[in-house]
Structure 1
Amino acid sequence: MSTVEESIDVDVPVRVVYDQWATFEDFPKFMDGVEEVRQLDDRRAHWRTRIAGLSREFETEVVERVPGERVAWRTTGESVKHTGTVDFEPLGATRTRVRMTMVFQPTGLAEKAADKLGVLGLQVRGDLRRFKRFVEDLAAGTGPRPSPEGS
């Protein structure tokens, strides 16, 4: 098992940041490689991803939800194995720290090699930077701006 932890500070109040993160269908707008997230019910979502040429579909289940503070999930089924948490820490009235932790089991040669090279950590760091821009633009009323490739 491997663990990745990354954080970023966002210039938006914690409740706005949490509410936007909890809108899973918007993940393709800022998560590189996520093609679709479809909410199945209040706890489960179906994901379709394509990362490094590898397509995957899987389901996740929210195992903990504390509004304004935390979302934790795990994958279900056999194809993809990971768990994660996103914690939201207010840093004043208009600033929030977002901390993501993922624990995953790489399978296959390509995933194991990518794990050794720290690819998931780079992916999570980039996704958090894109999320920061996305939620700050929405909060400013300017809407999401196009993201430069790979940022």
Structure 2
Amino acid sequence: MTTTLTAEIDVNAPVSTVYNQWTQFESFPHYLGAVKSVTQVDDVRTHWKVSIGGREEEFFADIVDQVPDDHISWQSTDGAFHAGRVEFVPRAHEDGHAETLVKLRMEWEPQGILETIGGALNIDSAQAKKDLERFKKFIEERGAETGGWRGEVHGREETSPDL
């Protein structure tokens, strides 16, 4: 059985800044609670170390679709099934400043009783909301992204922004 979570948050920053920061996967441990490390292997492949319910796990995930300032979709390539999509929606704040709605959707196959219960009780969605709040705080306090990648990925095939 697959578990799905969704979460969203408004970030007081332009869509390009928010998107660029999200492409800095190695910074995820700063704001994603379960993530211990992410290593960028190449433009589409990442290696993850996470701790879920006190259990350490490692897996590879590939970006399957990515369009700058719009969305990033990924899927695990080994271990338990895990996939997700984050969307970036530009909006104008009521005071005229740029704002971005970040919409997260993740799906996975629970491994063990803790993950199954967590999904059933929506604990995972609450954790995702907290993670997005930490991301919001990280980017808003910095006032700028730590880097960015502007290439596109379609069907796990990278298209360099220079081409």
Question: Is the pair's TM-score, using the shorter chain for normalization, greater than 0.5?
Answer: yes
TM-score norm. by structure 2 comes to 0.82
- Measured on the aligned residues, the alpha-carbon RMSD in Å equals 1.6
Matched, 1:46 2:47: yes
Residue correspondence of structure 1 range 121-132 to structure 2 within 5 A: 121-132=125-136
Equivalent in 83, 88, 101 of residue 97 of structure 1: 101
Q: How far has the Cα of 1:140 moved from its partner?
A: 6.4
Q: 2:69 maps to what in 1?
A: 68
Percent same amino acid among aligned pairs?
37
Moved over 6 A (4+): none
Residue correspondence of structure 1 range 5-84 to structure 2 within 5 A: 5-77=6-78, 79-84=79-84
Letter in 2 for 1:132: K
Higher relative contact order (CA 8 A, sep 6+): 2
1:22-64 CA-to-partner distances (Å, cap 9, x unmatched) read 1000000001021100000000000001132111101110000
3-state secondary structure, aligned to 1:89: strand
Task: Number of aligned residue pairs: give it.
Answer: 141
Question: 41-50 or 90-99: which moved more?
Answer: 90-99
Unpaired segments ≥5 residues, structure 2: 147-163
- Contact kept? 2:53, 2:115, Cα under 8 Å: no
TM-score norm. by structure 1 comes to 0.88
Q: How far has the Cα of 1:107 moved from its partner?
A: 2.1
Q: 1:149 maps to what in 2?
A: none
Unpaired segments ≥5 residues, structure 1: 144-151
